[in-house]
């Protein structure tokens, strides 16, 4: 055995050295390359930038090389050569050089010294003025005057020299005008190529600056390094469609309002903003990370972190649909959800305390078994009830409601039904309802086959006073008399399908107490009282889990049953912890598509089985609801990130909510058509006639670009239109116009007079206090209309919100408006100028060529002729209309409402013998009269009885 000092460890040292070297190499490689993928992305982005510039340069070169472009380029070169030749002739050159020398001499020897002396003189004068202010003396005053005079002399001299200089400069410019013009024109051919060449030179001359791009969100202590990889996310022009090199979709919408330098990326997209080791870790798509990346439209789920749920956001269309659907389906009836269900004056489903007097018992049984079989468009979900369960619930509802025996079905003659159909179509029912099954739900329920469902007596009572049956209904009081209600009810009862439903009111089970007790238990289990008012169920709580923070609910708390692998496999996950957010959304989608599927293969007692009904949602509806649920999270952001609504925006949003609730747009048009032309013009008005290749468009707003005034009609071809935004509202108008065209033989323009009034610029037209009163208690303003302004019985708050909405929309004062025209002091000032002021205005009012009374109602006085030719009541003008609007209307009604029957009366030189003055002064006088109509103009003159006998 060798001694220790004789042993060699060279091999071991060599082996360990190799291991150490490899370890160091690996560590360096891992540190520099493997853990820094953003470096390769930034380098690649730099190369893509060069490729794009190179490609753009090639396209510019190709375009420049086109024969027609080259021909134009040579033509301009030749023109430039001619211009140079003309400029280089001896006589032009001699005069040009002479003028140039004169200009230099003028600047150097005359203008500059004078300007310098003027500056020195001004400074000396300021110095003397300061001295004079401190120590007043005649000497200082004299110096100031002398300096002031010298300043004026210098200014005059400078002005003369500058005028001469301008003449010399004008000659020099004119001499080279052709050269400069053609040189600039040549640059337009090569400008793109030169720009791309410069960009290429810059890119080639510098190496990519490989560095971490970090945004520190101090308020939430978050470091956002997403742009280290996504370098081009905020570039106007993308270099590639491939990630991470692509620009942000809809960049102006999203990044324009949320600059990444301030908001970063994680606020909307979530993920793991600090991570830079790998894309998977940066995206948070790793096990147990609670907030993985939101891709695509799912990022809209973050909108509710900062924005009010009612705010309509450009770029937030999907989550807006989800919110609308969540509210429309009444999800908050079973589930507590913060921010939903706060309107205590509305209901989700109808009140069932009168169900026994309202519907056929046989219909109710079939409805409970499958609502969509009878009404495919209903929002009522399918609870998948067995026959026995449906009978039990029917029994409970029947025994716990007001009911009566309808007796034998009534038969109605064709004349009665036709009269009811006419009333149904004319008074405004079609704004909210349709009697055609294929139309689905409009605003209120679809009424096809309602005769199979409803009882005639209940319908009559309902039509007369809806809120006496259901206080929270949105159905307004149409102010029908009993006869009209009977006509409409008879028409509705005629809307039946084949077969109908058996009347089960005599069935034993319907009145059986034990069956009703089972029904009570089932109603309690399924939570029917969450949407409906049910006798005996008042005050019951919500049966579903709270959804306010469901987007933060941990994945292990979701019950996948035996379907976890199947559900997660649909989104490419092996287990829920790979991507918690994706797994959560997969569960949402599965639950919404088939709510009870997680019971499959499991034994459960009936009372423990899943209860959520099937709403029959489409794939798009499921996606939008999933986006909303994903955004309903715990916690919140600091105040600095919350989008604060201005008072104006808040008022508009509240108004829109009331408008949607009562479907005001079903009758009234709120906006006008807008055409965005390819030339950049924006044209506002109404489409008068559409043809195959264009349309005739009546302007409601002056358009300088077209050289047309409001009221003019222009023809615009389809090829000129880039985008078209149609008017909103007035849905019922087409039915009314069609009726008068087809039945009465009217022209479409004439038939428009029978449609509800357009509310465009209503805030400029009517006084807020009057509108509030009108909304609370509508009065008939247009007696010729068949369609009626119903009584909605709005709350005071709703009427306030709506009247304020119109004022704020037009930037008018609210709530206080000072109408000076109604004050005695105003009239006294007018009488000082002209003691007969109002009398003369009345003579103008009554003149045969104006004769306002021939069309307008005035209190008790109605015009002669057919009511369809009448105009609104002038007795309410004082409290209803705004003075400025009256003047504008009188001067040119077509500007305020193109197509109106009201003619233009006041033109230059007219009515001078009655009321001398300009059209504006005459319109103001009539306005003042309308704001102060004397009592005698509002009452019918009483004819003496003796005189009447003689006549």
Question: Per-residue pLDDT tens for 314-363?
Answer: 999 999 999 999 999 999 999 999 999 888 888 899 999 999 999 999 99
Q: Cα–Cα distance between 680 and 705 in angstroms, integer? A: 9
List the single range of 114-128, 203-217, 291-305 with lowest mean pLDDT.
203-217
pLDDT in tens, 771-799: 999 999 998 888 888 898 999 999 999 99
- Kindly tell me if the per-residue pLDDT of 87 is higher than 60: yes
What does the pLDDT read at residue 479?
A: 93
Report DSSP state, residue 299: G
Residue 951: what pLDDT?
31
Per-residue CA distances from 89 to 85, 94, 96, 322, 597 (Å): 7, 9, 10, 77, 95
Of residues 142, 293, 173, 287, the one with CA closest to residue 229: 293
- Which of 185, 159, 190 lies closest to 65, judged by CA? 190
Q: How far apart are CA 142 and CA 476, in angstroms?
A: 87
Q: Which helix (H) or strand (E) holds 721?
A: strand 721-725
pLDDT at 944: 42
Tokens of 562: 């035996």
Query: Which residue in 710, 730, 525 sits closest to 608, CA to CA?
Result: 525
* pLDDT value of residue 941: 62
Task: Give the Å distances, CA to CA, from 208 to 204, 245, 449, 464, 556.
Answer: 10, 14, 72, 78, 45
pLDDT for position 946 = 35
Q: Which of 618, 600, 620, 624 is nearest to 610 (CA)?
A: 600
Longest dimension (CA), the chain: 161
Give the tens place of pLDDT for each residue, 180-220: 999 999 988 888 888 888 888 888 887 778 889 999 999 88
| Cα–Cα distance, 124 to 142 (Å, whole number) | 13
**CA-to-CA separations, 189 to 61, 78, 181, in angstroms, rounded:** 10, 15, 13
**Mean pLDDT, all residues of the chain:** 90
> How does 689-719 read in b/e, with b if 16+ C-beta sit within 10 Å?
eeeeeebebbbbeebeebebebbbebebeee
CA distance 842 to 390: 72
Q: 648-810 with 820-937: one CATH topology?
A: no
Residue 899 has a pLDDT of: 66
**What was the pLDDT predicted at 947?**
41
Superfamily of the domain at 354-530: Cytochrome c-like domain (1.10.760.10)
pTM value? 0.83
Taking residues 892-904, what's their average pLDDT? 80
Place of tokens 């110096």: 143
Q: What is the pLDDT of residue 718?
A: 92
pLDDT of 859 > 80? The answer is yes
Distances (CA, A) of 193 to 187, 190, 319: 10, 5, 45
820-937, which class in CATH?
A: mainly alpha
> Would you state the pLDDT for residue 32?
66
Asked if residue 56 has pLDDT above 80, the reply is yes
Nearby residues of 757 by Cβ (< 8 Å), 6 or more positions away: 668, 782
Q: How far apart are the first and last CA of the chain?
A: 158
Is 90 exceeded by the pLDDT of residue 711?
no
527 with 334: CB under 8 angstroms?
yes
pLDDT more than 90, % of the chain: 68
Q: Please, which pLDDT band fits residue 945 given cuts at 50, 70 and 90? A: very low
**Average of per-residue pLDDT across 597-622:** 94
Check if the beta carbon of residue 294 is closer than 8 Å to that of residue 585.
Answer: no
CA distance 723 to 678: 8
Which residues share a beta bridge with 871? 856
**In sequence order, what are the beta bridge partners of 376?**
none
Return the DSSP state at 718.
Answer: G
R_g of the chain, CA atoms, integer Å: 40
pLDDT per residue over 553-569, tens digit each? 999 999 999 999 999 99
Query: Quick one: DSSP state of residue 240?
Result: -
Closest CA to 49 of 228, 227, 196, 248: 196
Q: How confident is the model at residue 548 (pLDDT cuts 50, 70, 90)?
A: very high
Check if CATH label 2.30.30.100 holds for domain 648-810. yes
Residue 561's φ and ψ, nearest 5 degrees, are 60, -130
Q: Is the pLDDT of residue 29 over 90?
A: no
Q: In what order do the strands lie in the sheet with 673-677?
A: 713-717, 694-699, 682-690, 673-677, 721-725
3 state SS for 614-675: ECCCCHHHHHHHHHHHHHCCCCCCCHHHCCCCCHHHHHHHHHHHHHHHHCHHHCCECCCEEE
The tokens for 143 are 């110096």
- What CA–CA distance (Å, rounded) separates 194 from 191? 5
The length of the chain is: 951
pLDDT at 406: 57
647-678, pLDDT tens digit by residue? Answer: 999 999 999 999 999 999 999 999 999 999 99
CB 185 within 8 A of CB 76: yes
For the chain, the structural domain boundaries read 66-205, 215-296, 320-336+547-639, 354-530, 648-810, 820-937
Q: Which residue has the higher pLDDT, 34 or 853?
A: 853
Token code pair at residue 378: 């209903």
Q: How far is it, in rounded angstroms, from Cα 887 to Cα 895?
A: 12
| Phi–psi pair at 322, nearest 5 degrees | -60, -45
**């209901």: which residue's tokens?**
347
Give kind and range of the element (H or E) at residue 401: none
Alpha-carbon dihedral of residues 237, 240, 244, 246, nearest 10 degrees? 30
* Token representation of residue 24: 């160091």
Q: Is 72 helix (H, G, I), strand (E, B) or coil?
A: helix
pLDDT above 90: residue 442 = no
- Token pair 């210098």 in the structure block, residue: 154
Q: What is the pLDDT of residue 900?
A: 78
pLDDT band at 701 (very low <50, low <70, confident <90, very high): confident
Number of neighbours of residue 386 by Cβ within 10 angstroms: 9
Angle between helices 919-930 and 883-891 (to 10 degrees): 130
* Three-state secondary structure call for residue 495: coil
Lowest mean pLDDT among 109-113, 688-692, 819-823, 834-838: 688-692
On the question of pLDDT at 915 being above 60, the answer is yes
And the tokens for 666?
A: 């079903």
Q: Could you give the CA distance from residue 892 to residue 920 in angstroms, rounded to a whole number?
A: 11
Q: Could you read off the pLDDT of 384-437 as tens digits, one per residue?
A: 999 999 999 999 999 998 866 555 567 889 999 999 999 999 999 999 999 998
Q: Distance between CA atoms of 720 and 500, rounded to whole angstroms? A: 55
**Spacing of C-alpha 870 from chain mean position:** 36
Q: What is the 3-state secondary structure (H, E, C) of 447-472?
A: CCCHHHHECHHHHHHHHHCHHHCCCC
Answer for the pair 553, 629: CB distance below 8 angstroms, yes or no: no
Beta bridge partners of 698: 686, 713
Burial class (CB in 10 A: 0-12, 13-18, 19+), 830: middle
The angle formed by the CA atoms of residues 61, 63 and 69, to the nearest 5 degrees, is 115
């Amino acid at each position: 055995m060798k001694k220790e000092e004789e042993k060699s460890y060279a091999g071991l040292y060599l082996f360990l050295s190799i291991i150490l070297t490899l370890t160091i190499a690996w560590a360096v490689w891992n540190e520099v390359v493997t853990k820094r993928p953003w470096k390769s992305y930034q380098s690649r982005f730099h190369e893509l930038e060069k490729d794009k510039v190179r490609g753009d340069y090639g396209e510019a070169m190709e375009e420049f090389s086109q024969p027609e472009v080259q021909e134009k380029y040579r033509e301009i070169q030749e023109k430039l050569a001619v211009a140079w030749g003309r400029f280089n002739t001896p006589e032009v050159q001699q005069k040009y050089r002479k003028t140039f020398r004169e200009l230099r001499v003028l600047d150097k020897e005359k203008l500059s010294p004078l300007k310098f002396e003027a500056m020195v003189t001004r400074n000396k004068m300021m110095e003397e003025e300061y001295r004079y202010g401190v120590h007043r003396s005649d000497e200082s005053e004299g110096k100031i005057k002398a300096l002031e005079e010298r300043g004026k002399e210098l200014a005059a001299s400078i002005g003369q020299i500058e005028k001469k200089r301008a003449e010399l400069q004008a000659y020099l410019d004119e001499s080279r005008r052709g050269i400069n013009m053609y040189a600039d024109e040549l640059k337009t051919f090569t400008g793109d190529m030169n720009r791309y060449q410069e960009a290429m030179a810059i890119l080639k001359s510098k190496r990519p600056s490989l560095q971490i791009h970090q945004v520190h969100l101090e308020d939430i202590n978050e470091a956002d390094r997403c742009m280290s990889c996504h370098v081009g996310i905020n570039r106007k022009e993308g270099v590639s469609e491939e990630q991470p090199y692509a620009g942000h979709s809809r960049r102006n919408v999203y990044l324009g309002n949320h600059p990444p330098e301030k908001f970063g990326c994680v606020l909307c997209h979530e993920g793991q903003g600090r991570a830079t080791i790998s894309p998977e870790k940066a995206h948070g798509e790793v096990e147990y990370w609670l907030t993985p990346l939101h891709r695509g439209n799912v990022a809209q789920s973050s909108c509710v972190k900062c924005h009010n749920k009612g705010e309509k956001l450009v770029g937030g269309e999907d989550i807006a649909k989800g919110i609308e659907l969540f509210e429309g389906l009444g999800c908050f009836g079973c589930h507590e959800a913060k921010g939903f269900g706060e309107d205590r004056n509305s209901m989700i489903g109808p009140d069932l305390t009168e169900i026994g007097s309202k519907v056929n018992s046989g219909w109710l049984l079939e409805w409970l078994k499958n609502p969509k079989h009878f009404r495919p468009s209903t929002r009522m979900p399918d609870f998948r009830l067995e026959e026995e369960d449906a009978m039990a619930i029917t029994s409970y509802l029947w025994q716990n409601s007001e009911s009566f025996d309808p007796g034998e079905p009534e038969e109605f003659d064709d004349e009665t039904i036709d009269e009811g159909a006419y009333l149904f179509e004319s008074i405004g029912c079609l704004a909210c309802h349709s009697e055609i099954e294929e139309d689905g739900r409009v605003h209120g329920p679809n009424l096809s086959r309602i005769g199979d469902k409803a009882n005639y007596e209940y319908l009559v009572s309902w039509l007369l006073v809806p809120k006496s049956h259901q206080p929270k209904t949105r159905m307004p009081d149409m102010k029908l008399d009993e006869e009209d209600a009977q006509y409409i009810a008879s028409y509705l009862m005629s809307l039946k399908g084949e077969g109908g439903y058996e009347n089960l009111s005599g069935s034993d089970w319907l009145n059986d107490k034990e069956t009703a007790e089972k029904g009570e238990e089932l109603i309690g289990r399924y939570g029917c009282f969450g949407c409906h008012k049910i006798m005996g169920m008042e005050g019951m709580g919500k049966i579903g889990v709270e959804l306010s923070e469901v987007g933060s609910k941990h994945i292990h708390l979701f019950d996948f049953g035996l379907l976890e692998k199947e559900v997660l496999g649909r989104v490419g996950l092996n287990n829920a912890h790979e991507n918690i957010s994706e797994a959560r959304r997969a569960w949402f989608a599965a639950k919404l598509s088939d709510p009870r599927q997680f019971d499959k293969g499991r034994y459960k007692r009936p009372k423990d089985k899943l209860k959520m009904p099937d709403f029959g949602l489409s794939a798009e509806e499921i996606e939008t609801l999933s986006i909303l649920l994903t955004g309903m999270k715990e916690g919140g952001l600091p105040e600095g990130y919350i989008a604060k609504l201005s008072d104006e925006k808040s008022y508009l949003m509240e108004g829109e909510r009331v408008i949607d609730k009562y479907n005001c747009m079903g009758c009234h048009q709120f906006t006008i058509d807008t055409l965005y032309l390819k030339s950049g013009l924006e044209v506002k008005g109404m489409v008068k006639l559409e043809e195959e290749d264009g349309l005739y468009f009546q302007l409601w707003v002056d358009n300088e670009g077209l050289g047309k005034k409001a009221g003019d009609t222009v023809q615009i071809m389809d090829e000129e239109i880039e985008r078209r935004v149609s008017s909103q509202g007035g849905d019922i108008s087409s039915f009314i116009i069609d009726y008068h065209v087809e039945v009465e033989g009217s022209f479409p323009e004439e038939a428009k007079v029978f449609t509800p009034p357009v509310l465009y610029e209503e805030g400029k037209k009517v006084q807020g206090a009057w509108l509030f009163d009108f909304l609370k208690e509508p009065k008939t303003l247009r007696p010729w209309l068949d369609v009626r302004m119903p009584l909605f019985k709005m709350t005071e708050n709703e009427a306030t919100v709506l009247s304020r909405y119109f004022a704020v929309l037009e930037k008018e004062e609210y709530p206080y408006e000072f109408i000076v025209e109604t004050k005695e002091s105003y009239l006294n000032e007018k009488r000082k100028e002209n003691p007969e002021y109002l009398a003369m205005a009345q003579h103008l009012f009554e003149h045969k060529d104006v004769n306002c009374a021939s069309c307008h109602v005035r209190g008790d006085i109605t015009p002669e002729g057919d009511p369809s030719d009448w105009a609104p009541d002038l007795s309410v003008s004082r409290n209803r209309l705004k003075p400025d609007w009256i003047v504008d209307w009188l001067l040119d009604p077509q500007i305020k409402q193109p197509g109106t029957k009201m003619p233009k009366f006041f033109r230059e030189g007219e009515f001078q013998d009655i009321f001398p003055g300009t059209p504006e002064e005459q319109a103001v006088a009539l306005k003042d009269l309308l704001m102060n109509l004397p009592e005698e103009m509002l009452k019918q003159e009483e004819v003496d009885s003796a005189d009447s006998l003689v006549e």
